[in-house]
Each structure stands twice: as C-alpha cells, then as structure tokens.
Amino acid sequence: MTVATAHSNIALVKYWGKRDTALNLPGAGSLSMALAALTTRTEVRRAPARESDHVVLDGSPASGAASQRVSRFLDLIRVAAGSDDAAEVVTTNDFPTAAGLASSASGFAALALAAVDAYGLDLSPDELSVLARRGSGSAARSIPGGWALMHAGEASDGRDAFARQIAPAEHWDLRCVVLITATGAKDVGSTAGMNRTMMSSPYYPAWIETVDVDLADAEPAVMARDFELLATVAERSCLRMHASAIAADPGVLYWNGQTVELIHRVRSARASGIPVFFTIDAGPHVKVFCEPSAVPAVRDMAADEVKDVIVSAPGGPARIEDA
Ligand code: PMV
C-alpha cells in the first residue's frame, strides 16, 4: 500500500479554458499558492483479486460518477505500467468537502503520486504534474506545491504542460483566508463552466490574451514579495476570468450576494491601508490573501457574511507518507 498527501492550491493568475479537452490541456498558463490547511490523504493498494476498483471518499463508498473518474485516471497509470490490476483507493480530505471547496486539485495530485508508486512507475516531478493534470488542471500545480507556475505548453501530447515551483512555501509567509459563503455543491462544475465559456462567450479569446501579461507581472511580484503588485494582478485576473464566464450564453455566474459584498469590503479595507486582496474560483467563496497580522481584521470584516472561515499558510509539495 502507498500513502500520499497533497495540498489544495489557489490560483492568483487563473486557469479558465482548455486547448484540448481530451488531454485536459490548458488554454493558457496559471500561477498559484498551495494551501497547507487543505490537505488530501490518499491510500492506494493494488487488488488483483478484485474485478473493479473500489473507491472510498471521506469514509463512504464514492458515487458512481466520482468512482468512474478515479478509475479512468487509474487506467492511464495501468496502461503505462502494463498492469490490469484493480485498486483499492481510500481518500480523505481534512476540510469540509460539502462546502463546495475545490478538492480535485489536492485529490488528483495525491492519487497520482500514490498510484504511480503502487503500480511501480518511476516518473519525474514534471511527468507527475503532467499526469495529475489529466485528472484536473489545477492538480498539476499541487504536485510541486509552494508558489507554482503552470505552463500552457505547446506540444499536442501535453508533455510540456506541467507546473513547477517558482518558490517554496517558506519564501513568502502570506495567509489565504477562505471565506465560505454557502454550503452544498456548486451548480456548474469548473469543466462545464469552462466549456460553456469557450463555446459561447465572446470574451473568451480576449480573456486568454490577457493571461501572459498577468503571468509576466505576477511571477516577479511573487519573487520580490511585492504585495501591491500581486494584489493588482490577482484581482484583475480573477475579475477577467469571471467576466468571460458571465458573458457566456447562458451566463455562468458563480457569485452570490455575500461574494459581492465581500469584494467591496476587501477593496475598502485595502483603500484604508490594510494589505488584503481577494480571488474567487468556480464557486461563491471568497479567498482573501493578507499578511499574517491582518488575519483578525479579515475575520472581523467578514464575520456577519460567512458560514465558515479557513485560514491557511502556504503549503509544500505532494509527497509520499509512511504507510
Ligand atoms: O482544476 P479544475 O479543472 O477544477 O479548474 C480550476 C479552475 C479555477 O479554480 C476556477 C481556476 C484555477 O486556476 O484553479
């Protein structure tokens, strides 16, 4: 049996749209910080006597759709390893999955690492990131963890579409305060939302054109620990991503009333001198980045609008644990 852990991550320059849906190749690059407080732990055991894979998610057998997604992913590893063994997969998140927080990033990174080891494959870190990407685009960034840059790549087989660390977790001790504004799964998953944006939003090509400029600003901002510059780029990237989705037909709108209220509060806090900025993914929650000393102020400003709050420091790479 092999056990692996991986942290979730939040993009500061967003990934939204694919250049190849089958291989899950991104339409542009992205940049993220891994979250130490959001971790998936996954055990993989080869089970040659079983007819099919058995997947347990947070203590219960996985639904048909979730279990199929895992089996299709394991098929990639079985083909590469020349094995047709079924597997037993036990995966646990240390954060509330029901809140609709993205668990696919940490989930597919931990699964990739554990399954590659269990099936006896030897992959480089870049190859692991390429593999995790097949499960979920953002999972590619959870393999290196820390501050990670995902490359869009050019190869049609996706071998150069991987993420690498640009700086380790310790490089910049920021906090990500996850403000949970709703419970329950989201209506439109990220793949469906991206597809609808790509197919029907007149703003999709314009959005994709902005990403390289944002990456060219965000990478040096991270390296120089330039909070103001990172704040400007991250909010710009988030709002442009959502603008492209909102302009789809029918529009993909992930925000609720609390989301919008919190955007205004974060902006007025920054105007009053508190170093904070926001980003938002394919759901209604608001992720606020700040210096550790500003966490109490963020909690106070959000208290009456949120269901729950998770505070996270930067996290490290996906890794194999002792079984
Ligand atoms: O990894 P996916 O396919 O769930 O897509 C993630 C999309 C966003 O979270 C909205 C943006 C990002 O870069 O993580």
For the chain, the helix, strand and coil percentages under 3-state DSSP, each to the nearest 5: 40, 25, 35
Model confidence, pTM: 0.97
43 lines ligand 1 (CB under 6 A): no
Ligand 1 pocket: which of 239, 244, 281 to mutate (most atoms <8 Å of CB)?
Answer: 281
- For residue 298, pLDDT beyond 90: yes
Confidence at 99, pLDDT banded by 50, 70, 90: low
Within its chain, how far is the Cα of 92 from the centroid? Answer: 17
What are 220-251's pLDDT values in tens digits?
999 999 999 999 999 999 999 999 999 999 99
Nearest CA to ligand 1 atom 6: 138
Burial (Cβ within 10 Å: 0-12, 13-18, ≥19) of residue 295: middle
Given a contact cutoff of 8 angstroms between Cβ atoms, the answer to whether 72 and 136 are in contact is no
> Is 3 in contact with 42 (CB distance < 8 Å)?
yes
User: What tens digit of pLDDT does each residue of 244-266 get?
Assistant: 999 999 999 999 999 999 999 99
Distance 323 CA to ligand 1 centre (A): 30
Residue whose CB lies within 8 A of the most ligand 1 atoms, among 9, 10, 12, 16, for a mutation test: 16
Ligand 1 near 71 CB (within 6 A): no
* pLDDT score at 186: 76
Give me the pLDDT at residue 249, please.
Answer: 98
Confidence at residue 323, expressed as pLDDT on a 0 to 100 scale: 80
- 57: Cβ–Cβ under 8 A, 6 or more apart, which residues? 66, 91, 97
Residues 69, 322: Cα–Cα separation, whole Å: 26
Q: Return the ligand 1 atom nearest residue 282 CA.
A: 10
Residue 62 DSSP symbol: P
190 lines ligand 1 (CB under 6 A): yes
Asked whether the beta carbons of 79 and 25 are under 8 A apart, the reply is no
Backbone angles phi, psi at 146, to 5 degrees: 60, -140
Q: Is there an atom of ligand 1 within 6 Å of 234 CB?
A: no
Mean pLDDT, the chain, rounded, equals 96
Q: How far apart are CA 42 and CA 109, in angstroms?
A: 9
Ligand 1 nearest atom to the CA of residue 137, by list position: 1
136 CB less than 6 Å from ligand 1?
yes
Whether 74 shows a pLDDT value over 70: the answer reads yes
Which of 269, 9, 298 lies closest to 140 in space, CA to CA?
9
Per-residue pLDDT of 46-65, as tens digits, reads 999 999 999 999 999 998 99
What is the pLDDT confidence band of residue 96, given thresholds at 50, 70 and 90?
confident
Q: Is 137 in the pocket of ligand 1 (CB under 6 A)?
A: yes
